[in-house]
């Protein structure tokens, strides 16, 4: 069955393939690509963004859910990166209060020296944040630490340090940036696979892409092409020069999601130094607790990376040292993995030591590649990239307005957690059919949100909805499998598909979601 005449993708594809020369063509719909596209569109440029899978399909939906300066980068002496990230944290809190909130973190102390040692460092953290600081750090005695985190391991606990950072919903911020891009007249198309670069006289002048829904090939032209494909940037760079040396040394970070009873209250735990030298977080998120992360070098990128058994065991073992009760394998509702696009210096041997700074590289043919960085600094990354791309394209410099730009849906209304991520759009969704009909008793999501995802947020598949418009796949993988048939049915109604399409959607979602269940639970 062909898509419904009212399917918004019909218009999106027509706009994307119109006979014109775009100022900016951005490849990649994650944090860096969407941030760059919003930066360019808000300066008044014409922008086309193409995403191979779905917005935030990769790393950008699989973060630790923190908007933070990076305490461990401070310990590494990277003061400049921490200062930049803290500034961006404050700006994002102002520009998207419906998505970013202040979160208290407790660093538990089990030795006499830990309080003064970490206390001094976190005071510097406060100082670097300046006027955009979210709150002052302070020492907690044993009773106060337990009041904040009742499930802290009590044996040997001496107290702790409380500090403030930001929390957000990563894929919801990606969709918010998509809507903001569209508000500024930009055009975006997901499930649009860039298959090649066009060149004239040695210069990159456009791209070829395949619409994954129809199989049709298209060609579009642009003043400048930006490669913001995360861990796949080298793949795009090789479209221009097959012999180019790889930039990236990807590593994967694993998180587990458990019931909120393991982390009651409104505070998070930060473990400053685990057995492998990393920071580990336990963070309350959408009525659950996210615990992670690891840092394991991987030989190549994958669209669906999988956790190694030793990674999940490491997280559970570390949690047992600091939490009582601590989760076991049987308590894990979902396990998810994100790949970090780390730019490896020639002499780096340990992924934990590689900088999280972003990098912008311009090829001889004018292809602009942005990689590295993290969600917190997405806006600054986009600003830096557009500044350099203007020079490549010979465009006059235009000032950035994004430091004070309210993102789509901006709202300070105190909505319930699950509606809050929509901001000012929430009332429109609640007016749709099915707003009172939950998709599953274990999660708050409603049928109306699926309709909204199809109509307004470019969701095309059951996975698009359950993994990234809603967060069901990450919060409770088993429950999300139960939701898939009804989600596919609603999408079929909205997009004009038949029952065969619905069955295929459920099957495909079942296959991909097996990777979010621990081995003992997969079937």
Residue 318: inside a domain: yes
CATH number of the domain enclosing 493: 1.10.8.870
What's the pLDDT band for 121 if we cut at 50, 70, 90? confident
CATH number of the domain enclosing 189: 3.50.50.60
**Dihedral sign (CA 352, 356, 357, 361):** positive
Task: Please report the pLDDT score of residue 519 as a whole number.
Answer: 65
Q: Are 320 and 462 in contact (CB under 8 A)?
A: no
Task: Please report the pLDDT score of residue 520 as a whole number.
Answer: 45
Residue 523: inside a domain: no
Task: Please report the pLDDT score of residue 113 as a whole number.
Answer: 65
Shared domain for 46 and 113, answered yes or no, is no
Residue 80: inside a domain: no
Q: Tokens 């105190």 sit at which residue?
A: 414
pLDDT tens for each residue of 382-419: 999 999 999 999 999 999 999 999 999 999 998 988 99
Q: Which of 521, 499, 495 is nearest to 8 (CA)?
A: 495
Shared domain for 391 and 305, answered yes or no, is no
Shared domain for 244 and 268, answered yes or no, is no
Q: Which of 362, 347, 372 is nearest to 392 (CA)?
A: 362
C-alpha–C-alpha distance, residues 32 and 418, integer Å: 26
Shared domain for 421 and 275, answered yes or no, is no
Shared domain for 243 and 254, answered yes or no, is no
Shared domain for 444 and 512, answered yes or no, is yes
Q: Are 168 and 65 in contact (CB under 8 A)?
A: yes
Distance from chain centroid for Cα 148:
27
Q: How far is CA 389 from CA 37, 62, 172, 227, in A?
A: 12, 28, 27, 11
Residue 154: inside a domain: yes
Shared domain for 146 and 120, answered yes or no, is yes
**Dihedral sign (CA 99, 102, 107, 113):** positive
Asked whether residue 358 carries a pLDDT value surpassing 60, the answer given is yes
What pTM was computed for the model?
A: 0.95
Q: What is the CB neighbour count within 10 angstroms for residue 499?
A: 11
Q: Which of 232, 211, 184, 237 is nearest to 408 (CA)?
A: 184
Shared domain for 253 and 339, answered yes or no, is yes
Asked whether residue 84 carries a pLDDT value surpassing 50, the answer given is yes
Please give the mean pLDDT across all residues of the chain.
Answer: 93
Shared domain for 225 and 268, answered yes or no, is no
Least confident of 207-216, 241-250, 423-432: 241-250
Shared domain for 241 and 177, answered yes or no, is yes
C-alpha–C-alpha distance, residues 161 and 360, integer Å: 37
Residue 1: inside a domain: no
pLDDT tens for each residue of 279-291: 899 999 999 999 9
Question: Which residues, 6+ apart, have CB-to-CB distance to 295 below 8 Å?
Answer: 251, 252, 253, 276, 278, 340, 351, 352
Residue 150: inside a domain: yes
Asked whether residue 354 carries a pLDDT value surpassing 50, the answer given is no
Residue 69: inside a domain: no
Q: Which comes out higher in pLDDT, residue 431 or 134?
A: 431
pLDDT tens for each residue of 460-507: 999 999 999 999 999 999 999 999 999 999 999 999 999 999 999 999
Task: Please report the pLDDT score of residue 378 as a whole number.
Answer: 97
Residue 316: inside a domain: yes
Shared domain for 178 and 244, answered yes or no, is yes
C-alpha–C-alpha distance, residues 176 and 422, integer Å: 8
For the chain, what is the domain count?
3
Asked whether residue 3 carries a pLDDT value surpassing 90, the answer given is no
Range of the domain at 383: 8-59+172-248+352-404
Shared domain for 503 and 424, answered yes or no, is yes
What's the pLDDT band for 4 if we cut at 50, 70, 90? low
Q: What percent of the chain has pLDDT over 90?
A: 83
pLDDT tens for each residue of 162-194: 999 999 999 999 999 999 999 999 999 999 999
């Amino acid at each position: 069955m062909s898509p419904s005449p009212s399917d918004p993708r019909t218009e999106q594809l027509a706009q994307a393939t119109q006979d014109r020369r775009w100022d900016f063509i951005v490849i990649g719909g994650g944090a860096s690509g969407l941030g760059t596209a919003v930066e360019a569109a808000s300066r008044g440029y014409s922008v086309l963004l193409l995403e191979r899978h779905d917005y935030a399909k990769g790393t950008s939906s699989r973060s630790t859910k923190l908007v933070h300066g990076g305490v461990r980068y401070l310990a590494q002496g990277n003061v400049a990166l921490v200062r930049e990230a803290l500034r961006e944290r404050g700006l994002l809190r102002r520009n998207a209060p419906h998505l970013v909130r202040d979160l208290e973190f407790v660093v538990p102390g089990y030795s006499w020296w830990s309080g003064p040692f970490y206390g001094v460092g976190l005071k510097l953290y406060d100082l670097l944040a300046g006027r955009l600081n979210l709150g002052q750090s302070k020492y907690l005695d044993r009773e106060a630490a337990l009041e904040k985190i009742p499930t802290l391991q009590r044996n040997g606990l001496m107290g702790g340090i409380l500090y403030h950072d930001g929390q957000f919903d990563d894929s919801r911020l990606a969709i918010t940036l998509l809507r903001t891009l569209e508000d500024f007249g930009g055009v975006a198309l997901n499930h649009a696979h860039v298959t090649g670069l066009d060149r004239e006289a040695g210069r990159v002048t456009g791209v070829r892409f395949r619409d994954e829904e129809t199989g049709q090939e298209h060609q579009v032209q642009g003043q400048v092409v930006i490669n913001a494909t995360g861990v796949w940037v080298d793949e795009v760079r090789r479209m221009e020069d097959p012999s180019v040396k790889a930039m990236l040394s990807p590593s994967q970070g694993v998180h587990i999601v458990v019931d909120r009873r393991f982390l009651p209250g409104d505070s998070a735990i930060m473990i400053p130094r685990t057995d492998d030298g990393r920071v580990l977080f336990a963070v309350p998120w959408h009525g659950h607790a996210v615990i992670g992360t690891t840092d394991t070098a991987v030989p190549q990128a994958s669209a669906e990376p999988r956790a190694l058994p030793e990674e999940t065991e490491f997280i559970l073992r570390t949690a047992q040292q600091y939490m009582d009760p601590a989760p076991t394998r049987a308590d894990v509702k979902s396990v998810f993995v994100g790949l970090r696009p780390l730019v490896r210096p020639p002499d780096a041997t340990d992924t934990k030591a590689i900088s999280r700074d972003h990098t912008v590289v311009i090829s001889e043919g004018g292809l602009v590649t942005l990689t590295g960085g993290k969600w917190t600094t997405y806006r600054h990354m986009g600003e830096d990239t557009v500044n350099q791309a203007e020079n490549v394209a010979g465009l006059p410099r235009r000032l950035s307005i994004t430091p004070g730009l309210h993102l789509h849906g901006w709202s300070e209304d105190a909505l319930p957690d699950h509606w809050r991520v929509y901001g000012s759009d929430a009332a429109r969704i609640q007016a749709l059919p099915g707003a009172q009909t939950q998709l599953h008793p274990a999660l708050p999501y409603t049928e109306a949100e699926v309709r909204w995802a199809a109509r307004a947020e470019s969701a095309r598949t059951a996975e698009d909805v359950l993994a990234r418009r809603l967060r069901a796949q990450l919060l409770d993988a088993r429950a999300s499998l139960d939701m898939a048939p009804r989600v596919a049915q609603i999408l079929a109604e909205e997009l004009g598909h038949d029952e065969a399409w619905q069955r295929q959607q459920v099957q495909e979602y079942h296959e991909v979601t097996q990777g979010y269940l621990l081995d003992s639970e997969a079937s």
